[in-house]
Structure 1
Amino acid sequence: MTSLGSYLHRHPRLRLAGLLSAPLLWLVVAYLGALAVLLVSAFWTVNGFTGGVVRRFSLQNFRTLLAEEVYRAVTLRSIGVAAAVTVLCVVLAVPMAFFMAKVASARARHALVIAILTPLWASYLVKAYAWRILLANGGPIDTLLGGPGHGPGYGLPATVIVLSYLWLPYMILPIYAGLERLPDSLLEASADLGARAGRTFRAVVLPMLVPSIFAGSIFTFSLSLGDYIAVQIVGGKTQLIGNLVYANIGAANNLPFAAAIATVPVVIMVIYLFAVRRSGALEEL
């Protein structure tokens, strides 16, 4: 063991490879392996008579996805919902993070960080069903807005609201971290040069926050794109990609087609990651 330790000490790259071998093996087998199986099974089909899976290469599932208008509409709707959730989270997160990082005292800052993290400890289903009660016809939101039928009810707006609530902490924390690294001297220099608060925010703060916003958007966009539980609970008749995957796994029992649908958000996120990597967002994660 002493000679082995000495050998590893003289070869730091080999020592690093040994330390990383276990987590890399887990990543390759559990994560990349699952994605590989998903991709391979997307090229299989189901026998219409027996219902068994035919393990023969075929592009039929992807032809159906491209040919059927309903699948294109669901894909565009899912992208729109994910984009709307991301924009809403940015609008809410920027002032909250700025107050935490630049206005609140150190003691209040710690309390606010805990308050933002606390909802993440609660069950996803508890939070989603709590919003179902709030959005119900004749529920608390209807009462506040003037009576039954005046609130958003169940549907696409409710889905955006609930997903924004669920993923908002994932946007606040990267922006807060980015603002903490922003020197106060830059804000003071902008004020000394005569810039008002709005001009300082647009010219100094916002350009430096772009990587942090993109970093947060990776979470909010991807989590919203593949979500189906919130849609099931508050979405009404809304159909998103996650619902289609679940429907084909359950009642339809068409696992290959479900796998083909599931590759859609994976491809979208790969394209999105390539698009934002030049902004430095990946370094903010």
Structure 2
Amino acid sequence: MITTFYARREHPPSAELARRTATVLAGWGHRVLCVERSALAGFLSDPATPVIARQDNGVEIIHGAAERVDLETLYTDRRLGDALEAWRADHAHRYDAVLIDCPHGTSDTAAICLAQLPDTVVAVSGDGSTDAELADILRRADAARDRMSYGLPQLTFVPILPPGTTSPTLTALADNWISREVSPAAALTALAFDARRHQPRLLAALLVRELDASRLLVQNPRLLVAGARKAELRREHALRGRIRDLLTKLTHSAQDWDAVRVLLGTLETGLRLGDWDTLDRALAALSVTHTRHNRPIPADVAARTVTLLDHL
């Protein structure tokens, strides 16, 4: 996933937050690339061959000297838009996370970092600008993205608020990734306090899971962090596949449906809590028959099975 870190005004903590998040992810075994703010002009001039200048704490970094670039010429004469899409596709496979330190303000370079390059924007508030100003810039970036001809998905926004504050304006921008089962204010409050730490582990864990963990963020943040290491994510992926295969077989095999209901309850609880140890034990202990049958699956079992499949 490609993530831009942005603040409306000059806000060094947004760059620091990007660097610290990258260090946490690399420490968990993920391959991470950081694009520094000073390197963006040179990078946009030739995104096909970016130079990985150095590694820092296991993070690969593109850096350079600040310079001016004619983006209109690059887009019209050198097809920069197509080159960036090729870069995005390539780096989605080469790295577990790409973090971009976006220039502040509303420059053309900032617009590209907000509208075309990322999947997610971490928007740092509390720099003296109003939340309305920041929200307006983010909405315009999303609208500009919609007008592009590359079929890009909707941006996701992760507002980082000052600890102890709320912002209905910015919270509303996060409604496409925060689960309806948790309070948006609680999710952003947890991130606000975490982001100011030396190691922003909750933010890193949330990003590496592509924001699909807001319930854990609020209900069990320790488990969210524990499961964000690369080895644990691989294990989780394998377990999800085993559960998916099991649920598919249940709909085609004669079963002890009372036992199946108990199993479904275990799976529902384990998935809700992210308790992969319990799920692993449940899968190891169960036995599923494979006798074909013509009798319909009980309606309650069918409904719960479909719900579980939708969450995998």
Please identify which structure carries the higher strand content.
Answer: 2
TM-score, normalization by structure 2: 0.22
Larger Rg: 1
TM-score, normalization by structure 1: 0.23
